[in-house]
A = this chain, B = another copy of it.
Amino acid sequence: MKKVFNIAVVGLGQVGLYLLNELKNKRKNLEFITGKKINVVAISAKNIKKKRKFKINKKIFFTNPLEIFKKTKVDILFEAIGLSDGISKKVVETALKNKIHVITPNKALISKHGDELAKLAEKNKVNLEFEASVAGGIPILKSIKEGLATNKISKIHGILNGTTNYILSEMENTNQSFERVLKKAQTLGYAEPGNPKLDLNGFDAFAKVRILSALAFNNKISKHKCIMEGIENIDLKDIKIADQLNLRIKLLGISEIINNQLFETVHPCLVSKNSYIGNVSGAMNAVITQGKPVGESILQGEGAGPGPTSSALLSDLISILRGNLGNPFGISSSFRKKIKPFNSGYYTNSLYLRFEVKDKPGVLSMITNRLAKYKISIKRIIQTPDKIKKRATIVIITHKTSEINSKNCLSIFKNNKNILKFPILIRLYN
């Protein structure tokens, strides 16, 4: 087997640059662990002159990453550009076609094009590794592919986005509004300064759910629609009311087999303050896997940032240096199947409903009558009047009901003069 591996790093943003520095610092260490030498022979980014935190070797710099394949012999390529399409996809495809192993933290790319890229990798007998794409430093993908490989997994759920978890924790701890805490998260580097939307609306977590499902259930990456809600509409008020109910709001990603059908979702959940998941705070990620015969296993760790991401990228590098060839999704692409999607209308939960209403007689009974009509039974009601403004907040915790039922039931409140805004709905975690 090869003794020296030539490496290219494409994309020198926060992650790529940190990785480059780690590759330099850990050269000896990697040789010690694997018995193989590495040489970084090519790096690529848009701008050679940009001021960077670490010094780069300009002699091996390429402005166009596709030139690398023409001019240098590369064995392993790190793709750290990001985005699901465009140049990042082109670079990964070209590398695989040239029989170059690819390592990437790019969840958008894998969750969209993972199936075809995996086929390409298998056809060319090279690795396509993406441990860093889900839950940063937590070796969750390897755990599913190897550690839990013979288990029958029934469900995976967890906190898959550190930014939103940080924001929710910080709102609770500091009593500050969503907007204020978001600014703070951006200053600290947890949230993208330009466009934090993909974190906040659940898209990022959803991409990770899709990758986890594909590994846990051996299915092709699902494309169908499902419930995806972010935290943009979480009000400090709801966090405070949850607190009084001994609950806490978490953005959860869930992937589950229900009646042999695949159910994937990302939405805010109310969880008990005494539960494990209720106590995973700050920028932490956590993934809970239910399998047979292993039972419940939990993996928790820092989910983002260049340090944890780099740790995962280097663990993939070690697998390749050790010669551990394997299919990108564990089993061969030809065995992976499509699982029928579960109809999300039948997804059932207890619900937290918050109504802001005019403080007039008959309003509460109008609401409870409507709920009764849809057979949504009430577990708990808390009504807090605001005498000065002549309005009231009514919080109702319901027993379990389906999505379709609650949607139909709540629709009437859209144009009701006594209901001041459309009711807030947060699902309780089952």
Interface positions of A (Cβ within 8 A of B): 22, 26, 29-30, 32-33, 35, 131, 137-139, 142-143, 146-151, 276, 279, 286, 291-302, 306-308, 310-312, 314-315, 317-319, 322-326, 330-332, 335
- Among B131, B150, B297, contact of A138 (Cβ-Cβ < 8 Å): B297
Q: Complex Cα distance A74/B53, Å?
A: 55
List the B side residues contacting A22 at CB < 8 Å. 150, 293
**CB nearest neighbor in B for A293:** B307
How far is the CB of A415 from the nearest CB of chain B, in Å? 46
* Among candidates B312, B326, B335, residue contacting A147 with C-beta atoms closer than 8 Å: B312
Residues of chain B with a CB closer than 8 A to A325's CB: 323
A143 touching B139 by the CB < 8 A rule?
Answer: yes
**A299 close to B298 (CB less than 8 A):** yes
Which B residues lie within 8 Å of A331 (CB)? 32-33
A297→B284 CA distance, assembly (Å) = 9
Are B322 and A307 in contact, with the CB atoms below 8 A? no
- Give A34 Cβ to nearest chain B Cβ, in Å: 8
Structural contact, A149 and B318, CB atoms closer than 8 A: yes
Residues of B with C-beta under 8 A to A33: 149-150, 330-331
B315 near A149: Cβ-Cβ < 8 Å: yes
Which residue in chain B gives the minimum CB-CB distance to A150? B314
CB pair B151 A311 closer than 8 Å: yes
Question: What residues of B have a CB within 8 angstroms of the CB of A276 in the complex?
Answer: 279, 300
**Shortest Cβ distance from A311 into B: residue:** B294
**Which residue of chain B is the closest to A30 with respect to CB atoms?**
B150
A148, B296: Cβ atoms under 8 Å? no
Tell me, in angstroms, the Cα distance from A308 to B331 when the chains sit together.
22
A22, A35, A314: most-surrounded residue (chain B CB, <10 A): A314
In the complex, A312 Cα to B295 Cα: how many Å?
A: 12
Known contacts A279-B276, A279-B279, A331-B33: A294-B146 contact under CB 8 Å? no
A15 to B290, CA, bound (A): 21
Minimum distance in angstroms from A220 CB to a CB of chain B: 16
Provide a sorted-by-A list of 22 A–B residue pairs whose CB atoms are within 8 angstroms.
A35-B332, A131-B147, A137-B297, A138-B297, A146-B318, A147-B315, A148-B311, A148-B315, A149-B315, A150-B317, A150-B318, A279-B279, A291-B311, A293-B306, A293-B307, A293-B310, A294-B308, A296-B301, A297-B302, A298-B299, A299-B300, A322-B326
Closest 9 A-B residue pairs measured CB to CB? A139-B147, A293-B307, A297-B301, A137-B294, A298-B300, A294-B311, A150-B314, A295-B302, A324-B324
Given that A302-B295, A322-B326 are known contacts, is A147 also in contact with B142, CB under 8 Å in the complex? yes
Contact present for B293 and A308 (CB under 8 Å): yes
Task: Decide if A150 touches B311 in the complex (CB within 8 Å).
Answer: yes
- CB proximity of A278 to chain B, nearest CB, Å: 10
Give the chain B neighbours of A302 by CB distance below 8 A.
294-297
B residues less than 8 Å from A32 (CB atoms): 331, 335
Measured CA separation A317–B149 after assembly (Å): 10
Residues in B with CB closer than 8 Å to A317 are 150
In the complex, what's the smallest C-beta–C-beta distance from A294 to chain B, in angstroms?
4
Residues in B neighbouring A131, C-beta threshold 8 A: 147
What is the bound-complex CA distance between A301 and B332, given in angstroms? Answer: 28
Partner of A311, one of B293, B306, B319, B322: B293
Chain B, Cβ-Cβ closest to A296 = B301
Is the pair A139, B150 in contact by a Cβ cutoff of 8 Å?
A: no
Closest-CB distance, A280 to chain B (whole angstroms): 9
The answer to whether B147 and A295 have CB atoms under 8 Å apart is no
Residues of B close to A298: CB separation below 8 A: 286, 298-301
Residues in chain B near residue A147, CB distance under 8 A: 131, 138-139, 142-143, 311-312, 315
Question: Chain B: which residue is nearest A136 at the CB level?
Answer: B294
Q: For residue A310, which residue of chain B has the nearest CB?
A: B293
> Which residues of B sit under 8 angstroms from A142, Cβ to Cβ?
139, 142-143, 146-147
